[in-house]
Amino acid sequence: MKEGRNTKLSLKSIKRKSLNNAEMLLLITISLFVIIYIISAIVFSESNFAKYSVFFNLLNNKAYLLLLALGLTIVLISGSIDISVGGVTGLVSMVIATMLLNNNVSAIWTIPTALCIGLAFGFVQGYLVAYMEIQPFIVTLAGMYFARGMISVINAKSVPITNEMFMGWSGAKLYIPFLYNVRKNGTLDVAYLTPASIVAIIVLIIVIIMLKKTKFGRSLYAVGGSPQSAHLMGIDVKRTKFRAHLLCGLLAGIGGFLYTLFAPSGNPGNGYGYEIDAISSSVIGGVMLSGGVGLPIGTFFGVLINSIIERVVPLIGIVDASWPRIITSGFLFVFIVLQGIFSNVSKKGG
């Protein structure tokens, strides 16, 4: 009787502890975002950070990144990694642009094409990682180079998109009632969301529910935390990893589609380095690189931080486009160090 209560207690404390770790990282992320936002609102008061529309544009500009980062969140939680997402993004945008060169092709067909490309990458990489037991990094590095090479095989030049239907989707805005500021000349500056942002938010909600409530979501955490004990618990580790990669590929495909909506042209340089943006968004959002810990909502804030860095850096007076990435990488470094400290503390405490 006494023993039973003890185990119950210890289970509870373990649960609380692991949650604490994730929540702590999430708290750091959210407060970091709020601090950066408030500081930039005060320092750059002319650039309207206090406006609703600017806030929503942070999401509108990076809707595609949210998709990529959510895919990486899933894969990282399962204890694996995927660095092909940037390449897949570029490949999808190039394929869509090349498809739409033909006027007879309806823009609707671009959606299944994007999904199929993503799924194909996810399927092959997932199979190689899960069932052939090859290091995920090598597999997805090869995937990245394959995608990058395929882009230039398809087309080595920039391809503009002129399809009316597609451009209609790309330029659509969904105004949000009641959230507006009055401009100096008296017109209204209403906050809006693009279709891409709405898709991204829907996917975010689905991923949150999936990770929290479904059997697959819970087994992801178990597999990432400890594959051996997950196996002993009766979880099919290989299948879980395979599905994680498949899902990441699918999300990368959707992300590529949203990116093409955001920047409607096929360019060989598209999506270059987006894997680091996606990984840093996840990691800044509190996803542990060692696997098993992480919350999708944190990733959401990680993406917002990435977006705000990209917006603030030019305001400081640095025009060079390479600086946001240096700073994001710096943040990634800081958070990796933080995670190292966290995991050391929890190891010592346990």
Partner 1 sequence: MSDLKGNNKLSKSTFISFAKSLASNRLTFSVVVLLIVVVQNIITTPGFFKITIANGLISGYIPNILDEASELVIVTLGMTLVTAASGGQDISAGAIMAVAASFCGLMLNGSEYRTDVFHSPYLLALLVGLLGGALCGAFNGFLVSKLRMPPMLTSLILFTAGRSIAKQITHGQTIYIMNPVYKWLGVQIPGVPIRTTIIVSTVTVIFITLLTRLTSLGLYIQSVGINDASSRLVGLKSSVIKFLTFVLYGVLAGLAGLVGSSSVGSVNSGELGLGIEMDAILAVALGGNNLGGGKFSIAGSIIGAYTIQAITTTLYAMNVRADQLNVFKALIIIVIIVASSDVFKTKIKHFTQKIFSKNVSVGG
**Residues of the shown chain interacting with partner 1 in the complex, contacts defined by CB under 8 A:** 81, 83, 128, 131-135, 137-139, 141-143, 145-146, 148-150, 152-153, 156, 268, 273, 275-276, 279, 289, 320, 322-323, 325-326, 329-330, 332-333, 336-337, 340
Q: Which residues of 201-232 are buried (b: 16+ CB within 10 A; e: fewer)?
A: eebbeebbebbeeeebbebbbbbbbebeebee
Of 242, 237, 86, nearest to 151 (Cα)? 86
| Shortest distance in whole angstroms from residue 215 CB to partner 1 | 26
Q: Which residue has the tokens 């929290």?
A: 212
3-state secondary structure of 292: coil
- The 3-state secondary structure of 204-246 reads HHHHHHHHHHCHHHHHHHHHHHCHHHHHHCCCCHHHHHHHHHH
Looking at beta carbons only, is 203 or 284 nearer to partner 1?
284
| Shortest distance in whole angstroms from residue 110 CB to partner 1 | 23
Looking at beta carbons only, is 86 or 253 nearer to partner 1?
86
| Shortest distance in whole angstroms from residue 330 CB to partner 1 | 8
Tell me the chain's radius of gyration from C-alpha atoms. 21
| Shortest distance in whole angstroms from residue 325 CB to partner 1 | 5
Looking at beta carbons only, is 208 or 327 nearer to partner 1?
327
Looking at beta carbons only, is 204 or 279 nearer to partner 1?
279
Looking at beta carbons only, is 112 or 340 nearer to partner 1?
340
Report residue 193: phi and psi, to 5°. -120, 145
| Shortest distance in whole angstroms from residue 220 CB to partner 1 | 19
Helical segments of the chain, H only: 2-43, 52-61, 63-77, 85-100, 110-130, 136-154, 164-171, 195-213, 215-225, 227-232, 237-262, 274-284, 296-316, 323-349
Distance CA 270, CA 231 (A): 40
- If one counts every other C-beta atom within 10 angstroms of the C-beta of residue 13, the result is 11
Looking at beta carbons only, is 62 or 325 nearer to partner 1?
325
Looking at beta carbons only, is 114 or 283 nearer to partner 1?
283
Looking at beta carbons only, is 86 or 195 nearer to partner 1?
86
| Shortest distance in whole angstroms from residue 38 CB to partner 1 | 27
Crossing angle of helices 85-100 and 110-130, rounded to 10°: 150
| Shortest distance in whole angstroms from residue 137 CB to partner 1 | 4
Asked if 85 and 248 touch (Cβ cutoff 8 Å), the reply is yes
| Shortest distance in whole angstroms from residue 203 CB to partner 1 | 24
Looking at beta carbons only, is 64 or 275 nearer to partner 1?
275
Q: Which residue has the tokens 């696997």?
A: 291
| Shortest distance in whole angstroms from residue 108 CB to partner 1 | 29
Indicate the residue type of 202.
I
Distance CA 195, CA 192 (A): 10
